Amino acid sequence: MNLYKLTFVSLLFCSSWKLLLAQNQEAQPNVIYIYADDLGYGELGSYGQEKIKTPHLDKIAEEGMRFTQHYSSSPVCAPSRCMLLTGKHAGHAYIRSNSELGGFADDEEKGQMPLHENAFTLGHLFKNAGYTTAAIGKWGLGMANTTGSPLKQGFDYFYGYLDQKQAHNYYPTHLWENDKWDTLRNPFIDVHKKLDAITATDSDFAYYKGEDYSITKMMEKTIGFVRENKSNPFFLYLPFTIPHASLQAPDEYVKQYVGMFDETPYYGEQRYAPTKHPLSTYAAMISYMDAQVGVILAEIKKLGIDDNTIILFSSDNGATFNGGVNASFFNSVSGLNGLKMDVYEGGIRVPFIARWPGKIEANTVSDLPSVQYDMMATFAELTNQIVPDNTDGISILPTLLGDTANQQKHDFLYFEFPGKGGQMAVRMGGWKAVKLNVARKPDAPWKLFNLKTDRNETRDVAAKNQEIIERINKVVLEQRQPAHIKEWDFIDAKYFEGGNHE
Domain shared by 350 and 491, yes or no: no
Angle at CA 125, nearest 5°, toward 119 and 126? Answer: 135
The per-residue pLDDT for 500 is 45
Asked if the model's pLDDT at residue 18 lies above 90, the reply is no
The per-residue pLDDT for 293 is 98
Domain shared by 439 and 395, yes or no: no
Residue 12 lies in a domain: no
Q: Which residue among 406, 434, 449 closes a domain?
A: 406
Residue 437 lies in a domain: yes
Distance, CA of 377 to CA of 467 (rounded, Å): 31
The stretch 170-176 carries a mean pLDDT of 98
The stretch 56-76 carries a mean pLDDT of 98
Domain shared by 334 and 441, yes or no: no
Distance, CA of 331 to CA of 347 (rounded, Å): 13
Q: Which residue among 350, 374, 406 closes a domain?
A: 406
Q: In terms of C-beta density within 10 A (0-12 exposed, 13-18 middle, 19 or more buried), how is residue 99 classed?
A: middle
CB 286 within 8 A of CB 52: yes
The least confident of 373-377, 435-439, 482-486, 497-501 is 497-501
Q: What is the mean pLDDT of the chain?
A: 94
The per-residue pLDDT for 179 is 96
Q: Which residue among 380, 406, 432 closes a domain?
A: 406
Residue 262 lies in a domain: yes
Per-residue model confidence as pLDDT tens digits over 105-158: 999 999 999 999 999 999 999 999 999 999 999 999 999 999 999 999 999 999
Asked if the model's pLDDT at residue 499 lies above 80, the reply is no
CB 334 within 8 A of CB 41: yes
CB 263 within 8 A of CB 277: yes
The stretch 199-228 carries a mean pLDDT of 98
Domain shared by 418 and 387, yes or no: no
Distance, CA of 357 to CA of 367 (rounded, Å): 21
The per-residue pLDDT for 389 is 80
The stretch 380-388 carries a mean pLDDT of 93
Q: How far is Cα of residue 467 from the mean position of the Cα atoms in its chain?
A: 34
Residue 227 lies in a domain: yes
Number of structural domains, the chain? 2
The stretch 230-255 carries a mean pLDDT of 98
Distance, CA of 65 to CA of 370 (rounded, Å): 13
Q: What is the CATH number of the domain that holds 148?
A: 3.40.720.10
The per-residue pLDDT for 498 is 66
Q: What pLDDT band is residue 387 in, cutting at 50, 70 and 90?
A: confident
Q: What is the CATH number of the domain that holds 424?
A: 3.30.1120.10
Question: Which pTM value belongs to this model?
Answer: 0.94
